[in-house]
Amino acid sequence: MTTDSNQQPEPPQERRSLLDRLPILQPDVPTETPEAEVPPPPTVVPEVVERVIEEPVAVSPPRPQERPSGVTAPPLPQAAPSPPPSRKRSFFGEPVTTLSIDGASLSVVSSNRGMVESWYTAEFDSTRFFREGYIYDPRGLGTFIGDLLREKGFSPKHIVCALPGIGCEFNTVTIPTMKKVSVEKMMNLELKKVMTTPVEETHVTWHVFPDRMGKRRAFVVAVPNGIIESWVEACHAAGGTLHGMDMRILALARAINRKDGIIVHRGGNWVEIAIVVNFVPALVRCLSLGDQYMEPEMATTHVLNQASFTINFYAGGSAGGDPLPDDAPVYLTGDLATDPEVADSIAGYIDHPVGAIQPPLVYPPNLPLEQYLVNIGLVLKKT
């Protein structure tokens, strides 16, 4: 399905500091020689993750009730292209193109000067490029992405993509305060205790919070090197430059822009659930619904049961985080947002109100927000 906008939004108002960047460890970029028709790999190593938000910011005005929804796209040759993004130079040098793959859907959003300009969603056969949620043919995926971007008029020069949570680790660790011992050294010692994957096989980033009674806490994200290398190779094959990466669940938390909340996201057979407390994902889960076909009603029941289990587990104190307020909203994103029966039946599983999504940026009124919420979070990462 293609949706576009002929209405140009007003420039965004000046906002307070939105993101508190994490220290970034540099991943290894593949150095193999590309084929003749493939441009050389990007020299800018992409960022991976960053903390969600420091404090709430002003949101855009209420949206009209009439707007298209759904994510199903017609075959690509018959789909009318959305208006090409502006070629005016933005604050970042060029328009930013964000990519999010969710199940068998590729969503693309182009932004300029922090404003959404153009968007497109294409359905594709994910088994051509993915196995059990992992990219197994990055060059084939990159070729598909590059052809789509060029056909629909999107710029590949500044790409920011979303990474799924599969295979990644999210932890909140406590770092003892010791004189003459660096935070990095103490962090490495703590990571070896909590991580299931060897540290040297992952790309690790963290953010350290202020001391509490002689101890410091840090939010840590570890992404396997192979996942990053696959995306770098895919963007290389697409003929683009990968300027940033972010975890999908962090992009969603940034777009929702709430201090406390519960995110329940479904894309195809994969589900991601996050408990956000004080703007930080205190607990993150990524689980599979399996490769076998599941009736929609049964799949929804399974997802809501898992969300209820996650909330109860966190409330029991096992995760060790700050308490989740009783009135913290739950946000349904991805496939769940387009199913009206989910919002009606959620009360039987989760004792939290369903929250309305209002991301803190300017976007056209006919943008199907829930469908592109991950992309919106990526746009906010660059503003």
Average pLDDT over residues 115-124: 93
> CB–CB of 252/263 below 8 Å?
yes
Q: Which amino acid is it at 88?
A: K
> CB–CB of 366/134 below 8 Å?
no
Cα separation, 290 vs 74, in Å, equals: 26
Q: Provide the pLDDT for residue 173.
A: 85
Q: What is the mean pLDDT of the chain?
A: 76
Joined tokens for residue 39? 């441009």
Residue 193 has pLDDT above 50, yes or no: yes
Q: In what order do the strands lie in the sheet with 330-334?
A: 280-288, 270-277, 261-267, 330-334
Higher pLDDT, 234 or 53: 234
Average pLDDT over residues 46-72: 37
Q: Provide the pLDDT for residue 208.
A: 84
The answer to whether 1-168+218-257+364-383 and 258-357 have equal CATH topology is yes
Average pLDDT over residues 265-270: 88
Q: Provide the pLDDT for residue 214.
A: 64
The matching CATH number, chosen from 3.40.50.1170, 3.30.420.40, 3.40.630.30, 3.40.50.300, for 258-357 is 3.30.420.40
Higher pLDDT, 5 or 343: 343
Q: Provide the pLDDT for residue 66.
A: 36
- Identify the residue whose tokens are 């991301």: 359
> CB–CB of 321/283 below 8 Å?
yes
**Which burial class, exposed, middle or buried, applies to 167 when counting CB atoms under 10 A from its CB (0-12, 13-18, 19+)?**
middle
Output the pTM of the full model. 0.75
Give φ, ψ of 101 to 5 degrees: -105, 120
Cα separation, 41 vs 342, in Å, equals: 43
Q: Provide the pLDDT for residue 28.
A: 39
Superfamily, domain 1-168+218-257+364-383: ATPase, nucleotide binding domain (3.30.420.40)
- Domain locations along the chain: 1-168+218-257+364-383, 169-217, 258-357
Higher pLDDT, 8 or 71: 8
> CB–CB of 22/197 below 8 Å?
no
pLDDT tens-digit readout, 214-232: 678 888 999 999 999 999 9
